[in-house]
C-alpha cells in the first residue's frame, strides 16, 4: 500500500505556522531579557532552531527551580 503524502502536508504547514508564531513570541522575549535574537531574514529552519533553543532554556529553568525548591524543602 503506497504512502499518502497529502496527509503530511497540512501537518507540516501547521507546524511551520506554530514555529513561526513561537519565534515571534520568543523574539519579543529577547527584548525583555536580552539573551539572543532571530535575524529578520531568518529561514524556517533557523526559526525552528531558535524556538527549540528557547524551549530548552525554559525546560531547563523549570527543572532547575523544581529541584532547588525540592531540596530547600528537605533541609
pTM of the model: 0.68
Q: Report domain extents, the chain.
A: 8-74
Count of CB atoms within 10 A of residue 37's CB? 14
pLDDT computed for residue 28 by the predictor: 79
Q: Which residue has the cell 528537605?
A: 74
CA distance 25 to 51: 9
- What are the φ/ψ torsions at residue 64 (nearest 5 degrees)? -60, -50
Count of CB atoms within 10 A of residue 24's CB? 13
pLDDT computed for residue 50 by the predictor: 86
Query: Mean pLDDT across the stretch 15-28?
Result: 86
Amino acid at each position: 500500500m503506497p504512502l499518502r503524502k497529502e496527509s503530511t502536508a497540512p501537518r507540516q504547514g501547521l507546524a511551520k505556522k506554530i514555529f513561526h508564531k513561537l519565534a515571534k513570541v520568543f523574539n519579543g522575549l529577547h527584548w525583555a531579557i536580552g539573551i539572543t535574537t532571530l535575524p529578520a531574514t531568518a529561514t524556517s529552519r533557523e526559526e525552528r532552531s531558535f524556538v527549540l533553543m528557547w524551549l530548552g532554556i525554559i525546560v531547563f529553568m523549570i527543572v532547575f527551580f523544581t529541584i532547588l525548591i525540592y531540596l530547600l524543602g528537605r533541609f
